Structure 1
């Protein structure tokens, strides 16, 4: 009884003083990456109207920071977009300060905004997750590269104090499993002098932002208390919406895709077979927006994107809470090159996959296409036996998704995993 009363009191105090939080994604990523983290905050009593995630227009970094490059962004582009969103959030909420949480490149953008764009005046806390604060590499050439520890951008960020006065800093890093923090730079490359630096053993480059263990550290740092629950609590009737984005060549962008037919089908329990007609069927407008769509949290769904004679299907489970951030990319055909016949692309956007560490299975059999060692890839193309093409069961760490295989050249079927 005392424990329950304490939990209720803690939630009451939390609701009374909730700093708006802005989540900042990394290179080539989008706002959807933060869904599990946002939902865990909500499940612990944080108000949904105090949780925001930026979607950078062109999330891929330029190869040379000073040289304009179509559909890629400079450090100034990123900091400018973040500054605009901070201003909007302060106006919307009436608050004086926000907290910023960044993954990978997003943490570098946060530091740039705080040090060079006046952000320290309106930011209370900064959490940097797997951010290559001292570079992905350290080279005497390529000094205009954003990720070069000896380059102009990172040298400037790290000159003098590595943190900014008046802002509390937390860094989260892996021990030896971050592909961007290896011995050539140092496993401790993401750490900052003057910050609270926390090591999360065994987690990869993305997991140090999105894994429940990373959430617990972020929540503790921002609220001063441990979370009361370590998982997402489902809503009765979640409502989903988002946008469809695409690619410019092989560079991912978050620019909207208009004129795309977007359909959603509920799947029959325990199968990849559709359960009746589409529960949503629309053509995306200039904004690329889709929704709203009311779903049942215990069901699996198939999201179908069709344009210019190509079809991309996403199979998903675990859509437990409402969000306006469920964005889908209209993937290029090159993502499945080299694989013919029935096939699936298994995608894990909140983490990477490696053989031995990640027990990815298809109908109970281990997926052998994973590479051993430090996790470096967030997806794997899997050949599906002809007899199984109508439906397979894909599982990783307790998350189960049923999916059908793609067969035609113009089709791509994706198993989208979103949990730990």
Structure 2
């Protein structure tokens, strides 16, 4: 496995962002609640993910008066788990590696803030790193609160035949070491958030693991822990139990001791954005920075995605950062990412209500089937899945393709269009709407409408 310089994922800043430890923008909305005694909060992403998933969570914390210098998000260099935890695998990480990296990050947060303890919040696999750090990495005395959101604490399956050696197998050595003799480690206050039955990784049948009819040995309550406060969020999916407003409210209350003033997001008067271009060697997601990538930011017509003017352009250095960029909270933007050996990726976003230093970007992918189309538009929801029954998901005025009803299982929808002149395509997920322009797939372009919510 490639190994980054250890400092590269420990140090960062809101402006330059030299690595995995990123901080959010300045809080701009006061609340009567006294937050001076609340510890710094470190958010830990899940399998294959990035710190960028937490930017809307940061906005909610800031809206309720939490200061930017006490909000942090981890960017593990190799976010994907190994197929077997004990077997080295290129571009993937073990539970031991993530535990050691998290330990260094916590120490760095304590050094920066002067805090005696931190609160840790993890989505999915991020909870594995938190549990491992607290139990095996010396974290029990350094963590005030441990919040695990949709973490497969008893595996996605408990089996001696399937996913053998995986950290996601409830019968694995790793999860046994986390759950025996007790499921929580004394010291921190523990909470889990989980769905009632809509988490695709907490299902009694193996259908969503590609094994229909195979009992998993895991129930809907798989993420719950004995001895923890277990909060059920009805109807929410595997990601939403970390990123939805309801999840934010539960986490805020647990860590601060009071309900938030609001779960919405208050718009700031000014906007500064920054983030990294992260590498995708061979299509494998990493959080290693890309040097020499060119990022252009275009202000667009929010109703059509048509370009109005270029407002920012930068070639990334060794740290991979494409900003900072000063923009407007009223404008819609297209981010054009050009990296060697990858499609030219046009990422369209609805307006940003607040600043963020963790708007990380990755180049998109085009399959052989995609390249046969005239153009390809992808609707991407990083902080949740789509449910054909629950959600309104539209692309070009029609129901988005490939979205099943029932348990939410997919976070992207792909629309392939025939050859023709460039035109507008409107995408919609419930109340959030993003308009994009089409680009020729045969020339290596792909359009992505990336949702905030």
TM-score range with shorter-chain normalisation? over 0.9
Residue matched to 2:334: 302
- The alignment status of 1:292 with 2:311, answered yes or no, reads no
Instruction: Give matches, 1:26-37, under 5 Å.
Output: 26-37=46-57
RMSD: 1.7
Instruction: Give matches, 1:3-402, under 5 Å.
Output: 11-141=31-161, 142-183=163-204, 184=216, 185-276=218-309, 278-308=310-340, 310-334=343-367, 337=370, 340-384=373-417, 389-402=422-435
Q: CA deviation at 1:387?
A: 7.4
CA shift in 2, pair 1:136/1:115, >3 Å: same
Q: CA deviation at 1:213?
A: 0.6
Residue matched to 1:4: none
Q: 2: distance between equivalents of 1:161 and 1:14?
A: 34
- The alignment status of 1:414 with 2:434, answered yes or no, reads no
Is the contact made by 1:14 and 1:45 (CA closer than 8 Å) also made in structure 2? no
Q: 2: distance between equivalents of 1:407 and 1:399?
A: 26
Between Structure 1 and Structure 2, how many residues are aligned? 409
Larger deviation, residues 188-197 vs 376-385:
376-385
Q: 2: distance between equivalents of 1:373 and 1:296?
A: 38
Q: 2: distance between equivalents of 1:119 and 1:243?
A: 29
2:69 is paired with a residue whose SS is: helix
Is the contact made by 1:246 and 1:331 (CA closer than 8 Å) also made in structure 2? no
Q: 1: distance between equivalents of 2:70 and 2:369?
A: 39
Q: CA deviation at 1:110?
A: 0.2
Q: 2: distance between equivalents of 1:263 and 1:139?
A: 48
Is the contact made by 1:336 and 1:345 (CA closer than 8 Å) also made in structure 2? no
- The alignment status of 1:404 with 2:425, answered yes or no, reads no
Q: 1: distance between equivalents of 2:406 and 2:279?
A: 31
CA shift in 2, pair 1:16/1:335, >3 Å: farther
Residue matched to 2:6: none
Q: CA deviation at 1:371?
A: 2.0
Larger deviation, residues 261-270 vs 94-103:
261-270
Q: CA deviation at 1:375?
A: 1.3
Q: 1: distance between equivalents of 2:340 and 2:202?
A: 41
Q: 2: distance between equivalents of 1:55 and 1:335?
A: 31
Unmatched tracts of structure 1, length 5 or more: 1-9
CA shift in 2, pair 1:94/1:383, >3 Å: same
CA shift in 2, pair 1:339/1:399, >3 Å: farther
Larger deviation, residues 313-322 vs 82-91:
313-322
Q: CA deviation at 1:16?
A: 2.1
Q: CA deviation at 1:314?
A: 0.2
Task: Provide TM-score, normalisation by structure 2.
Answer: 0.87
Q: CA deviation at 1:42?
A: 0.3
1:38 is paired with a residue whose SS is: helix
2:274 is paired with a residue whose SS is: strand
CA shift in 2, pair 1:384/1:236, >3 Å: farther
Q: 2: distance between equivalents of 1:359 and 1:335?
A: 29
